Amino acid sequence: MAEQEGSIVRVPLQSLDTYDGVVAEDVTSPEGALLLPQGLRLSLLGASLPKVLDRLRSSGVEGISIRMETSVSLKSVDSFLEVVLAQNQAVIDREVSREAVSQVQGLFQSVRRQPMTPELLVPLVATGKTLAQEILKNPQVLLSLARVHRWDEYTFVHSFNVAALAGFLAQRLHPQEPDLVEQIVLGGLLHDLGKAQVPLEVLNKPGPLDDREFALMKQHSAWGEELALQGEVTSAPIRAVIRWHHERWTGCGYPDGLRREEIPEAARITAVADVFDALTAERAYKQSLPSRDAMNLILGDTGQHFDPRASRTLLTSFGLYPPGSIVELSDRSVGVVVSAGGEDLIRPVVLIQVTPEGTAPESPLFRDLRRCDLRIRNYLGSGARRDL
């Protein structure tokens, strides 16, 4: 980019995605609503940029003034989150995450080639236990969901995310039952095992499935339980998660049409985690939904699809501003939510990215909104997931 650092340039909306810099002055609608705050770093908008652009266009904005800044080393939410993750012990160890994803993948590949045996499960069970320990150590849900890099690795990354999230929810619902949490984590890692028997062209189809393909796909929960039996999995919660994670609270799920408490709790918890991750993941044929929107959809479906206790736990775990939300505070600083504020839904912990003066903080600056006078003024979008 040719512009000099510190200079202010007027950028037409259609070229905004090619610029990095800081919004030089508040952008408002003709009615005076704040559309983009001064000081916002454009790269923080990440995947929300198209939506923000739509909003600006529909408000008649044609261009905005950007102050070019290239000296800040934290160029994007991703690299920014690297700092957050490095500073927070309370996040799942990256090695454990990687290990879990690659072992789920290894297991799926083995099951496609050879009959299921108990030995095939040994490495994944060991990593699953370590993952459960990580979750039990962490009282807060922090950014831990992993992103999918390649279209064909979705199932494995998704299995890890479901295991982690279901484990977090189980821990909050049953803090005195670490064994149950562990079983649910293992169940999450294995919940889609039956997909190892779904033809690859159906499993990895980069688009919505037709009726025949969907009928095949729906077999995976029953097939998964058969595989678990062949692998001599005796734990009732693990088997329940595998067989019944697609059952629905009102009884219109599959494979058995169980309803309400007939569905074992481990499967009800996993159902919430499963749908949350599916909604927020990026797929070849759909954009990811910001976690806040996914949470709203799940809450809207509570009592239909989901067990109300399990989905309420999701809300109180994430707060109204889930980790990764980009927010503007009342002093006009902008940051990323790094931790929901426990039961306090509107006052999370925010890591400041842009100070009220429009500069990057010299050292990482955390604001716990339960412990200071600041409040959230504006929700600006959702940040990225983490790279494994």
Residues near Fe ion (CB under 5 A):
192
**Secondary structure E strands in 219-343:** 325-329, 334-341
Closer residue to Fe ion, CB minimum distance, 22 or 203: 203
DSSP symbols for 35-71: EE-TT-BGGGGGGGHHHHHHHHHHTT--EEEEEE---
Count of residues making up the chain: 388
Comparing CA positions, the residue from 169, 189, 22 lying closest to residue 105 is 189
For 264-273, letters b (16+ CB in 10 Å) and e give: bbbbbbbbbb
Please tell me the distance from the alpha carbon of residue 318 to that of residue 105, in angstroms, as a whole number: 28
Please tell me the distance from the alpha carbon of residue 114 to that of residue 366, in angstroms, as a whole number: 51
Q: HSE on the CB side for 175, CA within 13 Å?
A: 6
Closer residue to Fe ion, CB minimum distance, 192 or 247: 192
Closer residue to Fe ion, CB minimum distance, 134 or 192: 192
| Closest distance of CB 166 from Fe ion, Å | 12
* Contact present, 115 and 62 (Cβ < 8 Å): no
Closer residue to Fe ion, CB minimum distance, 222 or 299: 222
| Closest distance of CB 129 from Fe ion, Å | 22
| Closest distance of CB 245 from Fe ion, Å | 6
| Closest distance of CB 147 from Fe ion, Å | 19
| Closest distance of CB 186 from Fe ion, Å | 15
Closer residue to Fe ion, CB minimum distance, 273 or 352: 273
Tokens in use for 216?
A: 């095949």
CB closest to Fe ion, residue no: 192
Closer residue to Fe ion, CB minimum distance, 192 or 307: 192
| Closest distance of CB 192 from Fe ion, Å | 5
